[in-house]
Amino acid sequence: MTRSVQKLTSVSHPLAGESMTGAEMVVQVLADQGVDVIFGYSGGAILPTYDAVFRFNAKHQDADGKEPMPLIVPANEQGAGFMAAGYARAGGRVGVVMVTSGPGATNTVTPVRDCMADSTPIVVICGQVPTGAIGTDAFQEAPVSSCLGPVAKHTFLVTDPEKLEPTVRTAFEIARTGRPGPVVIDLPKDVQNWTGTYRGEGLLPVPGYRQRLHAARDNELSDAKCAKFYGMLQASRRPLIYAGGGVINGDATEDLRRLAEHFGIPVTTTLMGIGAVDTTRPLSLHMLGMHGLASANYAVEDCDFLIAVGARFDDRVAGVPERFAPRARNIAQFDIDPSEIGKVKPVDWSHVGVLKQDLKAILDYGIRHRITPEFSTWHDEIAGLKRTYRLNYDRESELIQPYAVIEAINSITGGDAVISTGVGQHQMWAAQYFDYKHPRLWLTSGSMGTMGFGLPAAIGAQFAVPDHLVIDVDGDASIRMNMGELETATTYGLPVKVLVLNNFGDGMVKQWQKLYYKGRLSASDKSLRKKDFVKAAEADGFEYARRLERKDDLERVVSEWLNFPGPAFLEVIIDPDAGVYPMVGPGLAYDQMITGDYIPNRAQVSEDDIDGSSMF
């Protein structure tokens, strides 16, 4: 072991001391990390490692020919990145991408940035030209560290083959720990072909990173700090938990639910926090924010103690920070990332640590000291908000309403399906109208808002949870971005259900153009496009591919589509003027929310009050 490698464990690996190529070492570390699927596209600079994966699978396949680490080949590398993201989010494990150099690597920039923005753990292994050729503009060379470094949690360029094995192991450690994120390994071809001795242990020294991890882990809540928290809770009459994606990433959903249920604290979640609480429960307010439910946003307006858990007060939630939760006398914030504390909104109490252990500690303190606040009046108010300002739409329309489609699906799935989406109106409708009883059922591109995410993410999710129903809710514009992945679903026999809500264009863009640009549909109207989605799905091997155009056929066709045993595709022609409501415009507070024609509004707000110059 070199001096620059830290020892991982004293238990000897069964293959320790064996001679392996660098490529074989990479594959063995992947196996040691529990990797059971790799998403990627081959090419010259990554061929040695692809060959090593092939040989590993051939050697270790079971009696039925099942491979322990199958290589899933997408239509392009962006699809591979989103598949890994879907796998990671649905399964709670690190997704793995393996691509070649040059365009193979640069095609992963968008999914890497997407994973960074939404704290999703993936490891991207990029082939690279030989070390001696780096910097010479060699064939299919790209400066991976320069391209991906700014958008990844960390990047490694392996030039010393002795450090290859610990580098791969450390990449997984960084990806999954702390605030999760994407890690990139730039792997020259000569390092893959190098032969050395496998150690089966060891990590790179990353002392600063591990010190921050240990600081968060060891920063346990003191009794004095718990007492201050409960002092604010007991002084409150209208407490509200505002939960974000950090709760799900930190596997802290059960701890959050126990805390909320024990003290009777209502919970609203961000877009990325959907599933942190069961949305069918009485104290769940579902999603808040720009397109959050009116009841949730009004609860934020009314609360007097806001408890932020794994949430970062981003601009989709707190567009006007000084007017967010205006009646809250106190704000508390739990997070694992110290940079998020007070970054947007000043807080009165905060704790940086591991959410799972911190939520357990705060609940244990409350139980131990028999703290029993009484919030029945607040519960009645919450029930009233949910009843009065519930989601609604034109149920008498002769056109198929997208909300009705989702309600029909939800009546069958009952809040237990994995829902993946693209980005746009359909994304918001899926967030609003589906129920989510468990975490990791909701997969979407939140911070980046990347169109084309839905289909490949659904494919990745199906590999992570093969026995679960996985549905891609997509739009006609969004699915075009990665439509080649339809063939990936059928190639691997994945029973993914693909729904395209077709309103003939970029629906969210059109909504804003109709409201604030006098209906000038600049580059957003696709009604003249010639794409036949059903024929495209059939050409890619979908045995069930239907178009739904009649409202009377809705329930029957949705049932057929969901119950089809293999991959199934359904295009629904929806009302092209259907909008996303409620809506809080950029630069506006929740008391300026507009709710459309079918959801009540407790303030007199006009759509003209929104500044259309700030997109979405």
Beta bridge partner(s), residue 191: none
Cβ atoms within 10 A of the Cβ of 441, count? Answer: 28
- DSSP E strands in 198-271: the ranges are 239-243, 267-269
Q: Which of 91, 96, 93 is nearest to 26 (CA)?
A: 96
Q: Tell me, what amino acid is at 329?
A: R
Contacts 24+ apart (CB under 8 A), 362-371: 362/221, 362/226, 362/229, 362/259, 363/255, 363/258, 363/259, 363/262, 365/221, 365/223, 365/226, 365/227, 365/230, 366/226, 366/230, 366/262, 366/263, 367/262, 369/230, 371/230, 371/233, 371/234, 371/263
H/E run at residue 89 = helix 77-91
* Residue 164 near residue 26, CB atoms below 8 Å: yes
Question: Which residue of the set 82, 141, 172, 189 is catalytic?
Answer: 189
> Nearest 5°: CA angle at 151, between 149 and 155?
30
Cβ atoms within 10 A of the Cβ of 32, count? Answer: 16
Question: Which residue of the set 6, 61, 67, 140 is catalytic?
Answer: 140
Query: SS3 of 499, please?
Result: strand
* Residue 248 near residue 276, CB atoms below 8 Å: yes
| Residues 6+ away with beta carbon under 8 Å from 352 | 215, 216, 219, 335, 336, 337, 338, 341
Q: Tell me, what amino acid is at 252?
A: A
Active-site annotation holds for 139: yes
Whole-angstrom distance, CA of residue 459 vs CA of residue 420:
9
Whole-angstrom distance, CA of residue 431 vs CA of residue 570:
19
Active-site annotation holds for 77: yes
Whole-angstrom distance, CA of residue 358 vs CA of residue 379:
25
| Residues 6+ away with beta carbon under 8 Å from 244 | 269, 270, 272, 273, 276, 308, 309, 310, 311, 312
Question: Which residue of the set 508, 510, 513, 533 is catalytic?
Answer: 508
H/E run at residue 197 = strand 195-197
Whole-angstrom distance, CA of residue 412 vs CA of residue 558:
9
Query: SS3 of 146, please?
Result: helix
Q: Which of 557, 565, 566, 615 is nearest to 586 (CA)?
A: 615
Query: SS3 of 48, please?
Result: helix
Whole-angstrom distance, CA of residue 100 vs CA of residue 106:
10
Cβ atoms within 10 A of the Cβ of 55, count? Answer: 13
* Residue 300 near residue 590, CB atoms below 8 Å: yes
Question: Which residue of the set 1, 7, 66, 139 is catalytic?
Answer: 139
Q: Which of 584, 586, 581, 613 is nearest to 600 (CA)?
A: 581
Active-site annotation holds for 140: yes
Catalytic residues: 77, 139-140, 189, 508
